[in-house]
Amino acid sequence: MHMTNPPAKNKYISLDLHRKAKLYGVPLVVPKNIGDEMAKGSMNALRFITAVKLLSDDKKDTEAISRELWKRLYSVHKDISQMPSILEAARDAKIAESLVEKASNFVKSNEVKDELKKSADELMEAGGFGAPSIIVHGKNGKELFFGSDQMQFVAEALGEKYLGPFPGKS
């Protein structure tokens, strides 16, 4: 059975997203057609991110393409479901052209599909149910956190001090 949120919850979610965007300094303009965009799916984007993760020696490449795809959807309202748009995002993220080409040829490989399935299975086994879900392998073992407002708890689970989104600024 498909359930929709009550209007009050949708209004609150929108308000909360904008509060968090302001807190974290993230440009957020939710597209009016977000449902249509979500319906297109994110499999190609997820496979590309996974390909970059598997092929790059620099974890910053995976973070850069993830951020750029998020920005495309929630700030500049560009497609993230089709490969030409994903490749454009990779170039905007300043990922080396050689890596972009290798990743684009690698996205349909069994290795990428298996890695993505493994990540999804790990999330499900940990009790995850959506994004953003964060699995921390920390001082208390494996812990699941849900939501961008959980960073202080993520830091604690890692034995780190949480300094907020902009350390050093009040």
The pLDDT assigned to 3 comes to: 57
Q: Is the N-terminal amide bond of 132 cis, ω within 30° of 0?
A: yes
- The reported pTM is 0.81
DSSP 8-class letter at 104 = H
What is the widest separation between alpha-carbon atoms in the chain? 48
Which pLDDT score, from 0 to 100, does residue 74 have?
Answer: 84
Cα–Cα distance, 169 to 63 (Å, whole number): 24
Per-residue model confidence (pLDDT) at position 5: 65
CA separation for the pair 166, 164 (Å, rounded): 6
18-119: CATH class: alpha beta
Predicted local distance difference test score (pLDDT) of residue 27: 82
pLDDT of residue 4: 65
Which sequence spans correspond to the domains of the chain? 18-119, 126-162
- Report the DSSP beta bridge partners of residue 135: 144
Compute the distance between CA of residue 45 and CA of residue 144 in angstroms, rounded to an integer: 23
Per-residue pLDDT of the chain (170 residues; tens, 9 = 90+): 445 667 787 778 778 888 888 888 888 887 776 767 777 888 999 999 999 999 999 999 999 999 999 899 888 889 999 999 999 999 999 999 999 999 999 999 999 999 999 999 999 999 998 878 999 998 888 999 998 889 999 999 999 999 988 888 76
Q: Which residue has the tokens 């699995």?
A: 135
